[in-house]
Amino acid sequence: MKNSASVSASVMFPARSGLSPRLAAPALACMVLSLSGCSANFGGSAATSTATSFSIKGIAHGGQQPLFGSHVHLLAAGTSGYASAATDVLTLGSLPTDLFGHYVTTDAGGNFSLAGAVNCTATAGNDQLLYLYSTEGDPQPGGEGTDPTPVPNPSASLLAVVGACSTIGNIPFVYMNEVTTVAAAYALSGFAIDGAHIGAPSAVAGHALAGTGITNAFNTALNIVGQTTGQPLATTPAGNGTVPVTEINTLADILAGCVNSTGPGSSGCATLFTDTNTSASSDTVAAAMNIAHNPAVQVSSLLGLANNGSPFQPFLTTANDFTLTVSYTGGGLNQPFCVAIDGSGNVWAANLVNSLSKLSPLGAAISGSAGYSGAGVLNLPTSIAIDNSGTVWVTSNIGNDLAKFTSSGAVISEITGAGIAGPTSIAIDGLGNHWTANLSNSTLTELDFSETVGIPHAGNNVNLPDGVAIDGSNNVWAANMGSGTVSEFNSAGMAVSNYSGGGLVDPIAIAVDGSNEVWVANGTGSVSEFNSSGVALSGSAGYTGGGLNEPEAIAIDGAGNVWVSNIGNDVLSEFNPSGVALSGSTGYTGGLKSPQSLAIDGAGNVWVTNTRNNALTEFIGAAAPVVTPMQANLTTGTKQPAQKP
C-alpha cells in the first residue's frame, strides 16, 4: 500500500528537474546496509548460573589414526576482547594442568571423557560458549596400541566446537579431528589467533553486538561439520546449503601431514608452518587459523601437502584460493540483487522478480518458496537497507519508490514523490533520515525520520548518482557516474563540496570506513580513497589488482579492510586499509555468478548475491566482524562507520 502522507499535499516535496538515466538495470550498483544478530542453535537465554557435571565423551583422531595421550581441554570463549584468553572450565575434581588449564588425556584409542569435571556458567547475560582444544597427541605411526606410553607430537593440536553451557547436557559425544579443526578455525577466524585465544568483548567490555557475532560464529562451525562424526556435511542441516566438502577435506589433509608426524622438524610441519607464517613452536590449530586469515597466500605450496595417501578423500589438486564458501538456495531466491542482514542475524535479499527472500543466520529458508511478495510496491528492486528497529527498506528503480516492510516481510507502505526517480541505492543516517540516490533525475532524496517530509537535493555536481553512504558526522556522500566525482552534503542537506581525482572513473558504489575515509568502487576496475576532507589518498590510477574487474558493490569490515564484488569476472576482491590487495591477482572465486551485492555480518561472514544462479554465497569468517547496519554504527559505540563490535 502507498504511504498516503507521502503523496498528499501535507508533505513538503519540492519539485526539482533532473537528468535521465543511462544505465541498464542489471548494472546498477546496490548499496547495502545490514544488521547482524544471534542465531538460536545454542546460547539461548539461561536464567541461572550452573555448575555442571555432564558426561561428555569424545575421540581425538589425526586423520584415521587415534591420538594417544592428547591433553584435551574444555575452554570457554574469552570475554575481555577479540582473541582474548579463553577460560578453563574443567575445574571440578582433581585433574592435571598444563599451560592451558586442566585437561583429560586420551587413551590409545583416542577416547576421552569429561565426566564430573565441567564447571561452566549459563546465565541470561553470560551463557559461556565452549570448545575443545587438544594438544600433544601421539599419532602412533606403528598403529593403535604400539606405543606403551605416549610419544607426544608438540605440534599436533585439534579444535572442535561444543556449544553453549546451557545446552551441553544435550551433547553426549564430540569427534575431534582435522575436519572439525578446519570448521572451527574458519568460523571463528574473526575472533581468534590460536586455540587458547578465542573470544570477543562482553557487552561491558565492548559493543553489545560482539556477543551476538561470536555466538553466530560458533553456530556456523556446526553448520558445515558433523559434531559426532568428524566429517564435513554435504549439505547444511536445513538442507539448502551446499558445503564445500572437497575443499574441507583438502584443508584437513594439509593439517594431517603435521598432526600425524613426529613434530615441528618433520617435513609436513615444516612446510605447513613456513607457508602459513606460523612459529615452529606453535601448532596445527594456529596454522589453520592463519590459512583462514590469509586464504590467498601460498596456495600451491600448501596444496602439495595433500595427496592420494592423505586421510580425507577426495581432495583438490588445484585451487584459486582457500576461502571457504557455502551456497544457499530456497526461500524464493530468484535473481537476488541486493543483500542485508537484520537484527536477528537473518539474511535478506531483494530479488529482481520483485520479491524479498529471508534466510536464517545459518542460511535456512524462512520465507516461502516464492519469497515475500512485493504486493505491487516492488518494481525492479535495486537496493535494501535495514534500520535499527528491524524495518526493511527497498528502493525500486522502475517503480520510482521506496517500499517499507515489516520484519515478517509484510508491506507497510510505499513512499513516492520527493524526487525519487530511478533510485539505485539507500542509506540511513544516525538521525533516522533516509537518503536515496536517484539515477533518473540526478538528485539525492532525503526522507526525514518522521517519514512525512521528503526533499530532493540537486547541484554540487550530482550527476547520475549510483551510490550513497553516510559518515560519522552524518554527512552524505554520493558517487556520481555521470560526472566522475564524489559529492558531499552535510546532515541538513547543504552542499559541502564535490571531489575528483584519486582514480575516479565511472564511480559506481561508495562506503565509509571507521576513520571516516571514503572508498569508491569504479566500474572501470579500480578503487579510490579520499579522506574526510575530500583529499584523494589513492594515486591517479586508484588502487588496482586483487581481481578487480567491473566492480559493482563495496563494503568495509571491522578491521578497515575493503571488500568489492566484481561482475566482470565473478570474484570478490579484498584490500587492506592502505589499498594493498589481499585477494591475490585473481580475487576470491567461491563459485560466484554475477555478484551484484555483498554484506558483512557481525560474525565476519561475507554474504554475496548470485543473480545468475539464484543463490546467496557465504564466505565463512573471511572478514573482520562489523557492527551493522550503518545506522547502528552511527547511533551506538563510537558512533563511527564500520565499527568492530
Confidence band of 44 (pLDDT split at 50, 70, 90): very low
Query: Comparing 46-50, 245-249, 528-532, which segment has the lowest mean pLDDT?
Result: 46-50
Q: Are strands 57-62 and 173-176 parallel, antiparallel or unpaired?
A: parallel
What count of other Cβ atoms lies within 10 Å of the Cβ of residue 491? 16
Confidence band of 26 (pLDDT split at 50, 70, 90): very low
* pLDDT at site 341: 86
Mean pLDDT (whole number) for 155-169:
94
pTM of the predicted model, to two decimals? Answer: 0.93
Confidence band of 151 (pLDDT split at 50, 70, 90): very high
Mean pLDDT (whole number) for 282-290:
97
Task: Classify 538 as helix, strand or coil.
Answer: coil
Side chain identity at residue 198, one-letter code: I
Flag whether pLDDT at 3 surpasses 70.
Answer: no
* pLDDT at site 144: 86
Q: What are phi and psi of 242, to 5 degrees?
A: -90, 120
Mean pLDDT (whole number) for 516-524:
98
576-601 per-position pLDDT tens digit: 999 999 999 999 999 999 999 999 99
Mean pLDDT (whole number) for 108-133:
91
85-99, 206-220, 528-542, 625-639: range with highest mean pLDDT? 528-542
* pLDDT at site 15: 30
Please state, for a pLDDT cut of 70, what percent of the chain lies above it. Answer: 91
Is the distance from CB of 351 to CB of 340 less than 8 angstroms? no
* pLDDT at site 34: 33
Q: State the average pLDDT for the chain.
A: 91
* pLDDT at site 203: 73
Task: Classify 246 as helix, strand or coil.
Answer: helix
Kindly write down the DSSP assignment for every residue of 419-445, as one continuous string. Answer: T--SEEEEEE-TTS-EEEEETTTTEEE
* pLDDT at site 16: 27
Residue of 402, 495, 507 lying closest to 463 (CA atoms) = 507
State CA 605 to chain mean position distance.
2
Structural domains in the chain, CATH included, are 4-38+325-635 (2.120.10.30), 57-222+245-303 (no CATH)
* pLDDT at site 126: 84
374-401 per-position pLDDT tens digit: 889 999 999 999 999 999 999 999 999 9
* pLDDT at site 48: 44
d(CA 549, CA 532): 27
Residue 87 in grid coordinates: 577460560
What count of other Cβ atoms lies within 10 Å of the Cβ of residue 636? 16
* pLDDT at site 52: 52
358-367 per-position pLDDT tens digit: 999 999 999 9
238-283 per-position pLDDT tens digit: 999 999 999 999 999 999 999 999 999 999 999 999 999 988 778 9
- Catalogue the long-range contacts made by 471-474 (C-beta closer than 8 Å, 24 or more residues apart): 471/512, 471/516, 471/518, 471/532, 471/641, 472/512, 472/516, 472/634, 472/639, 472/640, 472/641, 473/516, 473/532, 474/429, 474/430, 474/431, 474/634
* pLDDT at site 43: 44
419-454 per-position pLDDT tens digit: 999 999 999 999 999 999 999 999 999 999 888 889
Mean pLDDT (whole number) for 43-56:
52
Residue that wins the pLDDT comparison between 29 and 122: 122
Confidence band of 53 (pLDDT split at 50, 70, 90): low
Helix (H) or strand (E) holding 608: strand 606-610
Tell the residue number behind the cell numbers 559541502, with chain if given: 496
* pLDDT at site 488: 99
Flag whether pLDDT at 295 surpasses 70.
Answer: yes
* pLDDT at site 113: 95
Tell the residue number behind the cell numbers 613456513, with chain if given: 274
Distances (CA, A) of 338 to 335, 552, 597: 9, 11, 5
Tell the residue number behind the cell numbers 550498483, with chain if given: 29
Q: What are phi and psi of 378, to 5 degrees?
A: -105, 130
Q: What angle do CA 644, 471, 464 make, to 5 degrees?
A: 125
Mean pLDDT (whole number) for 175-199:
98
The set of residues, in sequence order, having a beta carbon less than 8 Å from that of 33 and lying 6+ positions away, is: 340, 384, 385, 386, 426, 427, 428, 628, 629, 630, 631
Flag whether pLDDT at 4 surpasses 80.
Answer: no
Flag whether pLDDT at 330 surpasses 80.
Answer: yes
Confidence band of 17 (pLDDT split at 50, 70, 90): very low
Convert 346-406 into a string of H (helix), E (strand) and C (coil). CEEEEECCCEEEEECCCCCECCCCCCEECCCCCCCEEEEEECCCCCEEEEECCCCEEEEEC
Mean pLDDT (whole number) for 119-135:
91
